[in-house]
Amino acid sequence: MSLLQVDNISRDFGSLVAVSGVSMAVEPGELRAVIGPNGAGKTTFFNLISGLLPPTSGRIVFDGKDITNLLPARRVWRGIARTFQVTEIFPELTVRENLRIPVEGAAGYRLRPWLSREVAQEMAARVSGLMDMGGLREKADRLVGELPHGDQRATEIMMSLALKPRLLLLDEPTAGMGDQETYDITRLIRRLHREQKLTIVLIEHDMRVVFHLADRIMVLAEGAVLAEGTPDEIARNEGVQAAYLGKAA
Amino acid sequence: MGQINNKLAANAIVWLLLLTAPFWMHWVGGYTELGSRVLVMALAAMALNFLLGFTGVLSFGHAAYFGLGAYGAAMTIKYLVPSTPLAILVGVLVGTAAAAIIGTLIVKLRGVYFAMVTIAFGQVFYFITFRWNTVTGGDDGLTNWTRVPIDLGFTKLDILHNPELFYYFILFFFALSVALMTILLRSPFGRTLLAIRENERRARFLGIPVERHIWLSFTISCFFVSIAGALYALLNNFVDPRALYWGLSGNFVIMAVLGGMRSFWGPLVGAVIFVVLQDYVSSMTQNWESFIGLLFVLIVLFFPRGVLGIVRRKVAS
Amino acid sequence: MTQLILFNVFNGLIIGAFYALMALGLSLILNLSGVINFAHGGFLAIGGYLAYVLIPFVGFWGALLIAPFLTAFIGLVVERVLIRRLYGRDQLYSLLLTFGLAYIFEDGTRFIWGAQSVPYQVPDWLMQPLSVEYFFLTGYRVFMVILVGVAVAGLFLILNRTRLGMRIRAGTLDLETVSVLGVNVRILRTLNFGLGIYLAGLAGVLAAGMLGLSPTIGNSLIMPSFVAIIVGGLGSLPGTLLGGLLIGVASGLTTMFFPSASEAVIYIMMGIVLLVRPRGLLGEEGRF
């Protein structure tokens, strides 16, 4: 059974149709890339899955349950985490605190006025683990707002991971990054996918990253699905080439 | 480590000054009631800052819950039972309950809209106390009652006639509230509030039910401000509708900003400066309002980070 | 009975017209610049007092013409010197600044003209009742309703037909795009602020003849204006107009049945509206 099943989903803004009748099924453990020219509706599609926007029509099923009308926070509780195209973090808090908030939240302590010593230590250990994985250890007590872009991105991804998600949505994780940072983030995503068997859907512009990571690729153009298949199939698809190269030229 | 030591030292100094205030106040031209008033206003400003500085929500209507606390306490003593602790309890219950109800109506609004709605809602309570003269005394206020000495069994605390004792009585509640706020702000719950302040969207997509937490923060903040309100009525042995007028809400905000709304003790520092200035200037001139207006403008233009904000920057650089 | 109801509805309509005039100015500034102008009531009072000073020289009609423009000019200066510095900073600061200005304006007018209301001359013939049966329909009141109507119509004409107005509306929707398109946003905001203050000044000149001119006149109108904006719908000018008239009439009718609740009723209305439609009657649906 698919972990995420999107059925014929649409969203318009007045007369502008941003997403039109898109369906997608993501299997557990899969890494799916969503690509397409600018304005193809990729981010709107993500916003529909994560609950930032309600769809005009269509249905979203996660783990066998209809989540079409759930609020964002409730989707997070079900196991859907996401990052944003423009990094969304807590700039005036340290890396440690940025991670501590989702770690405590995922453990169900959001409303606790205090924690026992053991629980606090357990939380701190999890935060440490996440910082190690994201390569953020040395920057633990720096304010995130003062860190370079790559570290902010890594923090955001680790924050999402702190939620112990079953599905991770990454909106252009390498946007605005240099080669080294792109390489680091790509490696991080690959490890999450390979070692933790995490199901990931990502939007990405950098085709090197896409073809390096993705199990399957979905191509959106003008709000609709243009093609879907393995990286090889997509690379050979003439319609995709026309849409891409036509726009790019 | 240095940072932690600085914090400890700052805390020690604050508490030492507050504990010894009745002994040195008159040397610097103060008097005990002034100290009590500073404490009450500081508590109100810190309560507001729980929301403003640590949740990032712009509330401009806190005078309403301050005033409800005051009226709740005053009316309890005047009409129900002559008991100071009970008066405080009722005042706090009234203020907090009103905030909890209003809170449900406004949690979806943000920024200046939140400010506008909170300040407008405060006016309901203002007009109720203003118009319902038979019970509240209307514009003239609620008079002919006083705070009541407390009988502890083994000894009697005459907080009515002994101003120093009443100062410590207020300090007791101040300390209790401050301790509670500290615990809350350092807890996982407190961190969710910081998260909302820093980035609401991120908080939401980390699974924090933002509306519920803002409602809680608003209600908690108003709980503390109604404690301050109840103490304020007891301090004056009097309460009138000005205790809930929107001008007072603005004063709470400016105290927090003046002291530094990102630091825990900021509002206390702001309250000290504001109340002492008010006491001094209004004894010198009729135009206290122009003065305070000018103070608002100058703070906004030249000290937006507040006194402690500036001190922190100096220390950091 | 019918007469009494009509009387109160009409009264409510007049007071509602003032709320609407105030609230429209507030809304203009709020929508484009994100500033709640707490000093709006102060500007209204200034408008009234300027007219009071001018009437002996230029008569009521002259004052009606000149005073709002002078008020708007003061508004332009305040915007350029003070408020402009705060755009792009935490919205808290512009709130506090205008809050401080409100204090200064109220105290300043009290300092100059005293705390008591001053005698304010409206032409005699305007004060005559128009009918014996409907004694409350004095010329002044009818004239006021008409003038507010004209002002509102003029405002919507400016917003819909002139270049400035269209830019203001576009800027309200998407300031960034407007600035990219080459519109000078700083000047746009200044002019928009002036337009809002002009409405406050006009309301001041009219209200002075109706409510009596005292330093607190503005600050007694500002809270209901907030309520008008919230009830009518955030970001919607027609909503603001509707909200103002609605709460005016509601408050007028309450005066008749339960006078001591005539002020509180509008806040209760606001509560109900927020419960049913969190963004007001004509407000846009919210987003995260």
Average pLDDT of the residues of chain B:
92
Neighbours of chain B (3+ CB pairs under 8 A): A, C
Q: Which residues of A touch C287 (CB under 8 A)?
A: 53
d(CA B44, CA A214) in angstroms, rounded, equals: 56
pLDDT higher than 50, residue C85: yes
Residue A220 tokens, joined: 């959106």
Residue C288 has a pLDDT of 39
B283 burial level (CB within 10 Å; 0-12, 13-18, 19+): exposed
**Tokens in use for A230?**
């393995």
**Does residue C288 sit at the A interface (CB-CB below 8 Å)?**
yes
Instruction: For residues A27 and C185, give the distance between their C-alpha atoms in angstroms, rounded to a whole number.
Output: 50
φ, ψ at B159 (rounded to 5°) = -70, -10
Report the predicted TM-score, pTM, of the whole model to 2 decimal places.
0.93
Res. A248: pLDDT tops 50: no
**Rounded mean pLDDT, B87-98:** 97
pLDDT in tens, C128-160: 777 766 666 777 888 888 899 999 999 999 999
pLDDT digits (tens, 9 = 90+) for A65-99: 999 999 999 999 999 999 999 999 999 999 999 99
Contacts of A72 in chain C (CB under 8 A): 288
pLDDT in tens, B241-266: 999 998 899 999 999 999 999 999 99
Helix/strand number for chain C, H first, E second: 11, 0
Q: Number of A to B CB contacts under 8 A, please give it.
A: 86
Q: CA-nearest residue of chain B to C268? A: B124
Structural domain boundaries of chain A? 1-79+165-249, 91-163
The C-alpha of B306 sits at a distance from chain C's nearest C-alpha, in angstroms, of: 12
CA distance A29 to chain C (A): 30
* Domain C2-276 fold: ABC transporter involved in vitamin B12 uptake, BtuC (1.10.3470)
Nearest chain C Cα distance for residue A12, angstroms: 15
Residue B282 clears pLDDT 70, i.e. is over it: yes
Contact between residue A22 and residue A47 where contact means Cβ atoms under 8 Å apart = no
Test B113 with C82 for CB contact under 8 angstroms.
no
Residues 175-204 of A with CB under 8 A from B: none
pLDDT at residue number A225:
93
DSSP string, B202-224: HHHTTT--HHHHHHHHHHHHHHH
Domain range list for chain C: 2-276
Q: Chain B residue with minimal CA distance to C228? A: B120
In this predicted model, what pLDDT tens digit does every residue of C156-177 receive, in sequence order?
Answer: 999 999 998 888 888 888 888 8
Q: Which residue has the higher pLDDT, B54 or B303?
A: B54
Q: How many CB pairs under 8 A join A and C?
A: 3
pLDDT tens-place string over residues A184-228: 899 999 999 998 899 999 999 888 899 999 999 999 988 999 999
Q: Chain C residue closest to B111 (CA)?
A: C91
Secondary structure (DSSP) of C235-279: T-HHHHHHHHHHHHHHHHHHHHH-GGGTTHHHHHHHHHHHHH-TT
Q: Give me the helices (H) in chain B, please.
A: 2-24, 32-52, 62-75, 84-106, 111-131, 133-136, 163-186, 188-198, 200-204, 210-236, 246-259, 266-284, 288-302, 306-316
Q: pLDDT at residue C71 above 80?
A: yes
DSSP H or E run through A12: strand A4-13
Structure confidence at residue C212 (pLDDT): 84
CATH number listed for the domain at residues A1-79+165-249: 3.40.50.300
- Third-level CATH fold of B2-316: ABC transporter involved in vitamin B12 uptake, BtuC (1.10.3470)
Closest CA in chain A for residue C288? A52
Confidence of residue B151 (pLDDT cuts 50, 70, 90): confident
Residue spans per domain, chain B: 2-316
A140 contacts chain C (CB < 8 A):
no
